[in-house]
Structure 1
């Protein structure tokens, strides 16, 4: 039913280049034998994955390759698949052999002890057997004392596998029971006891017993792992909390494990934080960063809710705490400097306008910074709102890292990329001693750097294909297909072949277009080969390997093979041109000169001369053409002034900046690069927090506070004002200063419109009714009134479809000519 996917690294022959010689082992006359054999990689890591899913098995391998290293992994048939657990003893025997040839190891204790993550959630393996299997850790370290051994284990999650067959139908009750267990038995919340006992009575005793048994066994193994750090067997250990919440058995387990680490004096080498699937990639990245002798700095920015005020789904610590832990685990350094090696843009949930966040990503990428995006706003998939905002601003292939759920991936990927670039430019590459000079070694470095760059871009492409294309656009179709054909989407035993075909066909077409739009032709700086900076472009997509990872609908393996090219003939441009900002707003029907910035980035190691000009709509005034000369890899910012003329209300127009360019020493071939910017005519909205407005209300439900209606976000479901049920509600927006107003527009929630309401303005200290509505069924309502000078507006909700008020945004403007 599934292909036996290869986990070994890519062949370097997939790199298309006219400048790289891949036959490196040929001795040159008169050279020592050692100098005639430059390495094919910067080192090898023996990696025991958590299981065979793409994120746990492919990602650590890809991160290793992106760092110029080779990851040795067990044969796939030893890792098991879903409810067919891995062959733990055979995997241990494989690792025992592989560790001898590797420069270090990263191992998942659940695979060695039980046969994988799913196996760790049942008590099928006894504590004695798990301990026996894990003695391989002691044996390998004893035989390889100088080779770093990094390991991770998992603190068991709150529930069992959610399948429709026994015992999975109890996954929901088990989770609730586990939370209540902590609240009642450990925290003494007796008011919850009745519910606790009721839920417990719904679950068969054998399931509860197995759950308790697995937790106790896993906890003891966690303790054993900490003791191995203390006795020197394990050099670094991460204990990841799988599916964390504020309450549950894990709360005391974590506290006990932290206390043990402190007692043994190893708290600096034992880390405990949320995460399970990402831990292998994190530790591989840590290994590589240390081997490269680098410590990149990481500056973090948040999109909406600040990281110290937000806890991501299935986690139990502030997001900022987790991000900081991940960064420090890798050996990187947190920094708030604008010159930090990596800019990590972390997308959080909550209210707020995402456009400024997307603009900051746009600007940083344009200027050539290493920008990584960690998108954790929505559990398990890409935030479509952020994706749509970034699509016209950047090419995703230019990012230093991307993760659509689980920021640990984008941190690991970007830190490894920064570390390799730094190490190549300082000459500190493992496997290349100081006397490794000459053409063969230079070509070897070049091949390794290009192979690493290829792996990096492939990792970004596959992550987007899985978490955006499949999970946002195809996953629900596969789930429905299984259900409609009488099968369990969580464990397909009847229609897997058809579901797999549907998943692959629908995703493949989207993935090919994604490559064409976001990756083809993207410039890549691979590092320094000891003489020159190696540059390339993403040349072509050679193939896809796609299949559902397990016999369930959640994960799709989507592995691309790409080819990079260093040939100038494969480049359409030597420059990247960006117009900032992407969108500029002006007052309707006005003549105004707008200042914009054009960023020119030279992507090659030779000087480039460009002629910059702008194409504007008829009647507008274009800036004068400007000649620009850019040194190798230079970034130049050119201010331009565009004369905008009489743009009608709520209309927009596009200006195209063109930059034909040549290399001075080879001026006969002309390259082309361009960028667009949009000018939109909009009325000034005085009911915006950005304009100094504030919002208050009669009340709100959960996190849907009144401030969301003045944040400029009209599309995000997380950015609404919602109330508890009631007969009436009110919302009031106060302006920063008295304002002349004549239009109020409400952006309501489709299907739950406000059916009756009244809009008033605070004029000369008294409320004046501006508009009253009954029987409304319209989602966006516009109310035009006689201009008044007001200090506030008030919305009184008198009726709705379900007695709750729901509102995305309130817009207050003045559109009359007298408004000026």
Structure 2
């Protein structure tokens, strides 16, 4: 069977991860050439991508489409464009033509509700966001919050101060773009109602309970209810993992599988933590992540196809760069040891058990203590999936998708490569190398973590060298050898890394000797 994937942008998490998950399966996935995908703030050629999509869908069974790519040219251009409704409606109309020409095509799509970051930075936003980003967020937050609660004197003074300083032309530009994007969100819902889109996700990027984004979410949610689309349109925290989620959903549906997922936590409080950058308790998002990927939440391990073990904080989710300091939040309010012992116990009894770990103890990186425990137990490469990158939802969507595909196809070479990639990137880069290089070596080169020396410059060489050392020290187990075949910096900054990983495994006899 053939799947068409239109990624959200050119970064590895969007362009490579969903595609890599299909490798080693009975599904042939196709995606646009990487050079067609635009670059960060430079929009992709949408008409070229539409032409490619229409052509490939003629022979496809299913399509996973990021609407922001075909409408705006990518996730960042969706926050920068100056397109009007007429042009965007014309572009979206091509989706209707696509379904009319391919009525049996199963079409899953996702579309972001425009985010409103809480900080002042123009790295992924309009230039004026560097000066006014925090004020724009606070204005939206306070006005929205004030509709449901009484603002304190200090809060009202803050709002008055922002209103007196924030340039009107800045606010007009920002709110004008939000209004256009919001109307396109509504139009996408009409396409679901008409049967053009079979299933749609509105991921919430950098969520907050109040503000401009929360208002837009309320409008979309009201529209979903009015059209009675609650079972065909989901809205929950996330963004860069949704391609993986919908690929898993597509494979599950085309294979007539509904995997049952049993969840176990490292802390009794884990299910109730509100993860960083999200707007609700973990367990509520978790349920959406599982059903969005085509599964169901199992009530016990006996009825489950997949055991998903979640490594959480004990009280509040911190940042991975600060791990290692004494903290009751991580030292006494959770029991990671029990989680690892349980995983080992299950795999000892049944080596074919599907056991995956979602490492969401920290934001923006994996838990190095968990890694050490997995190595001590000798199960690092027996897992059906692992992820520990960026937000809780990014991690959950990735590991759930991988474990569902593993359940069907087992420990293929491609599975082992993706599993090792997660260890190298989420633990090696996100939790160790990025922090080390960003706090000194980068500055010594006269560079900045937001502006390096190119995608494949000296910094990329430094990253590769340090990751190779991390592999030697932390990831060599049970005869598994990991080779880094490529290493680059996709957006010429330190936040993300692009890696190509290959695993090699020595055959061991019953005495544990390599042959």
Q: What is the TM-score normalised by the length of structure 2? A: 0.87
- Name the one with the larger strand percent: 1
In structure 2, relative to structure 1, the CA distance for the partners of 1:474 and 1:349 (3 Å cut) is same
Deviations 1:284-332 (A, max 9, x none): 1000011122122110011114344211111112111111111112221
**Are the equivalent residues in 1 in contact too, given 2:248–2:294 (CA < 8 A)?**
no
Aligned counterparts, 1:498-509, within 5 A: 498-509=458-469
Contact 1:66/1:417 (8 A) holds in 2: no
Q: 1:51 to 1:366 in 2, by over 3 A?
A: same
Kindly indicate whether the alpha-carbon contact (under 8 Å) linking 1:123 and 1:213 is maintained by their aligned counterparts in 2: no
Looking at structure 2, the residues matched to 99 and 224 of structure 1 have their Cα atoms a distance apart, in angstroms, of: 22
Matching of residues 615-630 of structure 1 within 5 Å: none
Structure 1 residues 503 and 673: alpha-carbon distance in aligned structure 2, compared to 1, 3 A threshold: closer
1:494-523: CA deviations, max 9, x gaps?
Answer: 8972322222222233235555336x35xx
Identify the residue that residue 268 of structure 1 maps to in structure 2. Answer: 231
Distance 1:473 1:80 in 2: 30
Q: How does 1:442-481 map to 2 (within 5 A)?
A: 453-480=412-439, 481=441
Q: Is the 8 A contact 1:549 1:557 kept in 2?
A: yes
Aligned pair partner of 2:477 in 517, 520, 528:
517
- For each residue in 1:514-562, what CA deviation from the matched residue of structure 2 results, as whole angstroms up to 9, or x when unmatched? 55336x35xxxxxxxxxxxxxxxxxx65652211121111111112134
Deviations 1:433-459 (A, max 9, x none): xxxxxxxxxxxxxxxxxxx71221111
Work out whether residues 245 and 316 of structure 1, in 8 Å CA contact, stay in contact via their aligned partners in 2: yes
Asked if 1:136 corresponds to 2:125, the answer is no
Please state whether the residue corresponding to 1:155 is helix, strand or coil: coil
Establish whether residue 255 from structure 1 lines up as the match of residue 218 from structure 2: yes
Matched, 1:549 2:490: yes
C-alpha contact (below 8 Å) 1:376/1:404 kept by paired residues: yes
Matches within 5 A, 1:327-476: 327-339=290-302, 340-350=304-314, 351=329, 352=333, 353-367=335-349, 368=351, 369-405=353-389, 406-420=395-409, 453-476=412-435
Count of residue pairs the alignment pairs up: 481
Residues 543/468 of structure 1: CA separation in 2 closer, same or farther (3 Å cut) = closer
Contact 1:162–1:490 (Cα < 8 Å) also in 2: no
Within 1, Cα distance between the matches of 2:488 and 2:103?
40
Supply the distance in 2 between the matched residues of 1:497 and 1:200 (Cα, whole angstroms).
44
1:227 to 190, 193, 211: 190
Indicate whether 1:76 and 2:16 are aligned.
no
| CA separation of 1:359 and 1:562: change in aligned 2, threshold 3 A | closer
Is 1:296 aligned to residue 276 of structure 2? Answer: no
Cα gap change, 1:189/1:162 in structure 2, threshold over 3 Å: closer, same or farther?
same
- Tell me, yes or no, if the aligned pair for 1:305 and 1:349 is still in contact at 8 Å: no
> Structure 1 residues 45, 477: closer, same or farther in 2, change over 3 A?
same
SS at match of 2:422: helix
Aligned pair 1:169/2:158, yes or no? no
Which structure: greater helix fraction?
2
Q: Deviations over 1:693-719 (max 9, x none)?
A: xxxxxxxxxxxxxxxxxxxxxxxxxxx
Deviation of the 1:93 alpha carbon: 1.5
Contact 2:261 2:308 in 1 (8 A): yes
Q: Can you list the C-alpha shifts for 1:149-193, whole angstroms capped at 9, x where unaligned?
A: 000011121228834794342344443333223223565536422
Map Cα deviations across residues 205-243 of structure 1 (whole Å, 9 max, x no partner). 443333212222221111111110000100000000000
CA shift in 2, pair 1:230/1:277, >3 Å: same
Unaligned runs of 5+ in 2: 315-328, 390-394
Aligned 8 A contact 1:51 1:111 in 2 = yes
Question: Any idea what SS the aligned residue of 2:236 has?
Answer: strand
1:394 Cα shift? Answer: 3.0
Cα distance in 2 for residues equivalent to 1:88 and 1:355? 49
- Greater radius of gyration (CA): 1
1:183 and 1:282, CA in 2 relative to 1: closer, same or farther beyond 3 A?
same
Deviation sequence 1:313-366 (CA, Å, 0-9, x none): 111121111111111122212112222111101122123232222222222232
Contact 1:158 1:179 in 2 (8 A): no
SS, match of residue 245 in structure 1: coil
1:44 aligned to 2:2? yes
Describe the SS at the equivalent of 1:184: helix
Which residue number corresponds to residue 560 of structure 1?
A: 501
Structure 1 unmatched ranges of 5 or more: 1-42, 422-451, 522-539, 565-569, 574-670, 675-820
Q: What is the rounded CA distance, in whole Å, between the counterparts of 1:153 and 1:274 in structure 2?
A: 12
What residue in structure 2 maps to residue 179 of structure 1? 141
Deviation at 1:97, TM superposition (A): 0.9
The one-character-per-residue Cα deviations of 1:777-802 (angstroms, maximum 9, x if unpaired) are xxxxxxxxxxxxxxxxxxxxxxxxxx
Which residue in 2 is equivalent to 1:584? Answer: none
Change (3 A) 1:542 1:356: closer
Cα distance in 2 for partners of 1:182, 1:479 equals 37
2:105 paired with 1:147: yes
- Contact 1:365–1:394 (CA<8 Å) still a contact in 2? no
Match of 1:115 among 70, 73, 83: 73
- 2:62 aligned to 104, 109, 119, which one? 104
In structure 1, distance between residues paired with 2:93 and 2:270: 40
Deviation track 1:750-772 (CA, whole Å, cap 9, x = no partner) reads xxxxxxxxxxxxxxxxxxxxxxx
**Greater relative CO (CA pairs within 8 A, separation 6+):** 2
Give secondary structure in 2 for the equivalent of 1:398.
coil
Query: Would the aligned equivalents of 2:428 and 2:467 in 1 still touch at CA under 8 Å?
Result: yes
Q: How far is the alpha carbon of 1:392 from its aligned partner?
A: 0.7
For 1:679-694, list aligned pairs within 5 A. Answer: none
Task: Decide whether aligned partners of structure 1 residues 267 and 166 sit closer, same or farther in structure 2, where only a CA change above 3 A counts.
Answer: closer
Query: Is 1:542–1:562's contact at 8 Å kept on the other side of the alignment?
Result: yes
Pick closer, same or farther for the CA change 1:162–1:337 going to 2, 3 Å. same
RMSD: 2.5
**Aligned with 1:189 (options 133, 140, 151):** 151
Q: CA deviation at 1:261?
A: 1.6
Mapped to 1, the partners of 2:437 and 2:287 lie a distance apart of 37
Cα displacement (A) at 1:393: 1.2
TM-score by length of 1: 0.56
